[in-house]
Amino acid sequence: MGRNIETVHFPDTTPKLKRVAAYARVSSGKDAMLHSLSAQISEYSSRIQNHPGWQYAGVYADEAKTGTKDSRENFQRLVAECRAGNVDMVITKSISRFARNTVTLLETVRELKALGVDVFFEEQNIHTLSGNGEVMMSILASFAQAESQSASENQKWRIRKNFEEGKPWDGTLLGYRMQNGKYIVVPEEAELVRRIYSLYLSGKGVEAIAKILNADGLKTRLNGQWSKSSVSSVLKNYSYTGNLILQKTYRENYLTKRTLKNDGVLPKYHAQGTHDPIIDIDTWNAVQKEFTRRAEKHAHRGVKQKSYPFTGIITCGCCGKHYHRKVTHAGVVWICDTYNHFGKDACPSKAVPEPVLERLAGDIAPGEITAVRAENGNRLVITTADGSEIVKRWQDRSRAESWTPEMKEAARQKALARSKA
């Protein structure tokens, strides 16, 4: 008699591990706070990895960001991982560390709850997937938001009191260091400020001044390269006269923290003789008058700024900056911003003649070009709307071809003068 063998399948009794992640945040970039953040990351990593039944899903941490903003990079990464189904539970220190905006907090937690992701707030001992979790969380989050608003109002009161007393706010002003709430002159930096004013009044433009300072190896207050904007900020800063205009800007509110220009919404404060001047008031006024004169000279009243087909599309393959249109003595070219401002040492890219661009892009339908990357070796990588990349090359013009009629005539006159000498 034959044997009947039956295969019996037993269910897998291995318990499924809960994938747990943690979120940590400190609201200040100070060393002590960053040390605290490092300690939190280490503690969470160790706790999750050593907890029975838990699987480590990472620790996400943000530093020097406010809990009222949604732009926290690692917080957004954590939420993305939850949406992707890679996290079952998130642990965090408290509601105020997670967010101080009640609306943002509840929207995020409700989304995670719909995804089946539990959030555990340690200080409040709340699991959001529990029956009374959301009710308790709404109440506690309101307190956290009120606390944030109170702290913001206290900060505003302190700042405005300093304004009323004529105390400066900007501690990063070239030429000064802040000591006990007062500006103290730094002699070598003060000389640099005076040089910038002198160069401008001698007829140099802000871009030309930036190139001179960079060529001399001089740095900005924050040890950066000089640019048009950084030179302009020095030339327009009234504080160099030894006087202050305070509360020129203000924060919209404690939630958005958006900085707005103060056009009469709040009082401004004109504090005179608060510190030693670097620039006398007559020189400062002369520079402001010259700014106005040059602006009026180059203004195109009633003429709308013209946009060109390649505006905002071309990027540099060397440094990643955008190309812009520039009229030169040899014709119109498109040139890298870095090269144009700081020279070949900062970026070895090449300018592309506009006729070359138009010719190479001529066989592509208008509006189909979404991006152009200018690379060394006279290469243009053109990206079209369907995602395709088309590589184009061009030959440099000979020197004779690049000369304008005016340049040719000037060369002829020079040669004629030499022959008569």
CATH of the domain at 189: 3.90.1750.20
SS3 state at 352: strand
The last residue of one of the domains, among 297, 331, 361, is 297
Q: Is residue 69 in some structural domain? A: yes
Would you give the DSSP letter of residue 269? Answer: E
Q: Is residue 13 in some structural domain? A: no
Candidate from 13-17, 225-229, 404-408 with smallest mean pLDDT: 404-408
> Is the domain of 186 the same as that of 288?
yes
> Is the domain of 265 the same as that of 332?
no
Instruction: Please report the pLDDT score of residue 120 as a whole number.
Output: 94
Measured CA to CA, the distance from residue 76 to residue 348 in angstroms comes to 37
Q: Are 82 and 112 in contact (CB under 8 A)?
A: yes
**DSSP per-residue string spanning 157-204:** HHHHHHHHTT----S--TTEEEETTEEEE-HHHHHHHHHHHHHHHTT-
Q: Is residue 37 in some structural domain? A: yes
Amino acid at the residue 189: E
Q: Is residue 413 in some structural domain? A: no
CATH of the domain at 118: 3.40.50.1390
Chain center to CA of 213: 24
> Is the domain of 238 the same as that of 191?
yes
Q: Is residue 262 in some structural domain? A: yes
> Is the domain of 189 the same as that of 279?
yes
Query: What is the rounded average pLDDT of the residues 223-229?
Result: 90
> Is the domain of 188 the same as that of 138?
no
Q: Are 92 and 109 in contact (CB under 8 A)?
A: no
- pLDDT band of residue 206 (cuts 50, 70, 90) is very high
User: Is the pLDDT reported for residue 203 higher than 90?
Assistant: yes
> Is the domain of 138 the same as that of 39?
yes
> Is the domain of 287 the same as that of 352?
no
Instruction: Please report the pLDDT score of residue 63 as a whole number.
Output: 77
> Is the domain of 327 the same as that of 282?
no
Q: Is residue 341 in some structural domain? A: yes
Instruction: Please report the pLDDT score of residue 68 as a whole number.
Output: 47
User: Is the pLDDT reported for residue 45 higher than 90?
Assistant: yes
Q: Is residue 204 in some structural domain? A: yes
> Is the domain of 122 the same as that of 195?
no
> Is the domain of 340 the same as that of 282?
no
Measured CA to CA, the distance from residue 25 to residue 98 in angstroms comes to 8
Query: What is the rounded average pLDDT of the residues 48-72?
Result: 79
Instruction: Please report the pLDDT score of residue 252 as a whole number.
Output: 53
> Is the domain of 61 the same as that of 137?
yes
Q: Are 41 and 10 in contact (CB under 8 A)?
A: no
Instruction: Please report the pLDDT score of residue 190 as a whole number.
Output: 95
pTM of the model: 0.43
Count CA within 13 A, CB hemisphere, residue 331.
14
Q: How many domains does the chain have?
A: 3
Indicate the Cα dihedral angle 266, 272, 275, 276, nearest 10°: 140
Indicate the Cα dihedral angle 331, 337, 338, 340, nearest 10°: 30
Q: What is the pLDDT of residues 68-109, one digit of tens each?
A: 445 688 999 999 999 999 999 999 998 878 875 666 777 788
Structural domain harbouring 29? 18-148
Q: What average pLDDT does the chain have?
A: 80
Q: What is the pLDDT of residues 104-133, one digit of tens each?
A: 777 788 889 889 999 999 988 889 888 777
Instruction: Please report the pLDDT score of residue 67 as a whole number.
Output: 45
> Is the domain of 189 the same as that of 275?
yes
SS3 state at 92: strand
From residue 39, how far is each of 26, 33, 212 by CA, in Å?
Answer: 11, 10, 46
CB neighbour burial string for 135-151, b if at least 16 within 10 angstroms, e if fewer: ebbeebbeebbeebeee
Instruction: Please report the pLDDT score of residue 217 as a whole number.
Output: 93
Cβ neighbours of residue 338 under 8 Å, at least 6 residues apart?
316, 318, 319, 321, 346, 347, 349
Cβ neighbours of residue 379 under 8 Å, at least 6 residues apart?
317, 391, 392, 393
Q: Is residue 231 in some structural domain? A: yes
